[in-house]
Structure 1
Amino acid sequence: MQFDETDLYEIYDGRLIPIHRPLPGFYHQLISGQLLRLLDAFIRPRALGKLLIGPLDVIMAEDNTAEPDLLFIARENAGIAQDWIRGTPDLIVEIISPSTIVRDRYDKLEQYARFGVKEYWIVDPANQSLEILALNEKRFVMHSFAAETGKAESRLLPGLTVDLAELFEPEDREVFWGERPPVRRAESPST
């Protein structure tokens, strides 16, 4: 593979994996921003650690680097925050898309478990769902799941509940996975 330093890559067991183009779109970034606000409102007042948004190199080992959508580093683990993240974050969030679904659900699931990520969130915009997976003996197990209007709870951050009605606001649902909202036509004034 020819290396182009203007592109983004992840490294999985020594293999260079290009981050698929196109880069995240409007709805993906909207959800990422919503999650950032919801998590920050819980984490910052309690001084629990640092919440970061990608792209940002997370170097778990020389031959394993990821670019998660969001990540949380607990205060006790702050030493991994250097020029990049050099170590394993406590929580990683991936917002899946058609081009990343297999990698996020399988490769990264295995990679993050192997390196000891304590909690892995998979956000699925197409199904309006959130899976919160907790590490249990080097494997992720489903801790909490919610879809559409439900709520999911973190094990890593006790007391943190994500209400999907706040995450997937209906008025914000734009073009995603080939879905288009109904076209609203301006009503003509009554005469």
Structure 2
Amino acid sequence: MEKEASKSLVKEPDLSYGKYSYADYLTWEMEEMVELIKGKIFKKTAAAPRRIHQWLTGNLYTEMNLFLKGKKCQAYIAPFDVRLPVKSKKDEHIHTVVQPDICVVCDLEKLDDKGCVGAPDLVVEVLSPGNKQMELQRKYEVYEESGVKEYWIVDPEGKTVLIYTLTQGKYSASRWMTEGDVARSSVIPGFELDLDEFFKDA
């Protein structure tokens, strides 16, 4: 992501400091991808994601993107900044910036040149050995709190998919679905994912 030229770039912010904002984030020049959750920095793994992570993420994004062609919603794949403001949309007041593997945004007014400001309608995270706590705990909490309507977790190792659906501000979970099941979205009406086909070459 392009950083604002007017700001001095910081190569390595203090990871123990827990009150950073998106305005700070824009000044960082770090080799690895980072996310900001409630003001605290979380580094993504320095190594490239495993092949199967990239394979499944790319295939699911392609399926969603093709399905959404001609519809009002748009799908985006990481790296793509999603800012989750609590009260103010000003950069200095935003303390959570995440990069979901895939997100779908139906309110196009939330999109700008920097990414998305506000909760996407649907988020997909594909688990990796080093990110399970992040996806299953920390991101679960901020996605629920910020109003992400549907949160898919894809587990390549178990060949399973879990869908959380937001109901009255709280997530309710589907069962873990696997080969032989069809995952369906309530946020993208009509979108179905045949898990036999999806995991076939995984």
Name the TM tier (shorter chain): 0.7 to 0.9
Asked whether the equivalents of residues 37 and 97 of structure 2 are also in contact (C-alpha less than 8 Å), the reply is yes
Distance in 2 between residues matched to 1:34 and 1:144, nearest whole Å: 22
3-state DSSP of counterpart to 1:92: strand
Report what 1:59 is aligned to.
Answer: 83
* Aligned structure 1 segments of 4 or more residues deviating by more than 3 angstroms: none
Q: Does 1:114 align with 2:138?
A: no
- How many residues are treated as equivalent by the alignment? 168
- Structure showing greater radius of gyration is 1
In the TM superposition, what whole-angstrom CA distance separates every residue of 1:107-160 from its partner, at most 9, and x where no partner exists?
101110000000000000011011111001222111464112311111112222
Report what 1:49 is aligned to.
Answer: 73
Percent of counterpart pairs with the same letter?
A: 29
Counterpart of 1:78 (choices 108, 111, 120) is 108
* Consecutive unaligned residues in structure 2, runs of 5 or more: 1-13, 16-27, 86-93
TM-score (norm 2): 0.78
CA RMSD of aligned residues (A): 1.6
Label 1:145 to 1:151 Cα distance change in 2 as closer, same or farther (>3 A).
Answer: farther
* Consecutive unaligned residues in structure 1, runs of 5 or more: 174-191
Report what 2:47 is aligned to.
Answer: 22
Distance in 1 between residues matched to 2:182 and 2:104, nearest whole Å: 20
TM-score (norm 1): 0.82
3-state DSSP of counterpart to 1:38: helix
